[in-house]
Amino acid sequence: MEKALMDVHIVVTGASSGLGYAMSEALLSEGATVALASRPGPKLTEAIINLKDKGYSTVFELPLDVRSEGSVEDAVKWVKAEWGKIDVLVNNAGIGMRTVNPKFLTKPQPFFHVSPEEFRNLMDTNVTGYFLTSRGFTPLMAEQGRGKIINISMNYETMKRKGFVPYGPSRAATESLSYIMAEDMREYGVSVNMLLPGGATVTGMIPDEVKKELEGKSQLLKPEIMAKPIVFLASEQSEGITGERIVATEFESWLKERRK
């Protein structure tokens, strides 16, 4: 049986762990060529080694700091030189509330306790990072006359929840950015969609002690929940779909409704 993503070249940001790693593995399993883009270091190198040990020969290490224009430019140059094209960009790199308040789930703090530096740091990664990376790769997609951008988001609840500044506003901003990008890129043949898990997931964004408690109550989703929808969005099956917000836990029912 032919795999769905043969000769599809994909860059996944924030791919060294969590959702990014799980999505990368799902894409690789369907024959895609995938660049794991993340800040350089042992974590990224280990992720590459793990995937190669599993037999994935089309995985590449791409050092990238999404907050840096220069780093994004270097990544774009690498893609042009090594691949000559990009079919899909998955914007996933982000940091969570634990960088601002490690006890955000048990002891939420009001927004006025957040320092300007902490606010800017998170927004620079979660919002400006999506903008810079998309800004870097879309000219290549526009030149090709095709391409897909998938922006990873989170539940609406996180945008309104007590103690969730600045993470909540950052995800609200990335969703607005996504809708506008979708309209801007229609004429270039480039689709822009959003994908979110549909609940809290087992990733590094949740403190270990809270993770253990929630896992015991079966309240956490596994990152692999993103596998089927990310493969769908990266493949020819999603041609013509743009400006959509897809929830991974509801993907099967969403797809069934769409195919009626």
Q: Cis peptide before 40, with omega less than 30 degrees from 0? A: no
Q: How far apart are CA 170 and CA 179, in angstroms?
A: 15
Q: Which of 156, 167, 179, 188 is catalytic?
A: 167
Q: Exposed, middle or buried: residue 255 (CB in 10 Å: 0-12, 13-18, 19+)?
A: middle
Active site (annotated) includes residue 167: yes
| 3-class DSSP state of 247 | strand
Strand order in the sheet with 88-91: 59-63, 33-38, 9-13, 88-91, 147-152, 190-196, 245-247
Catalytic residues: 167
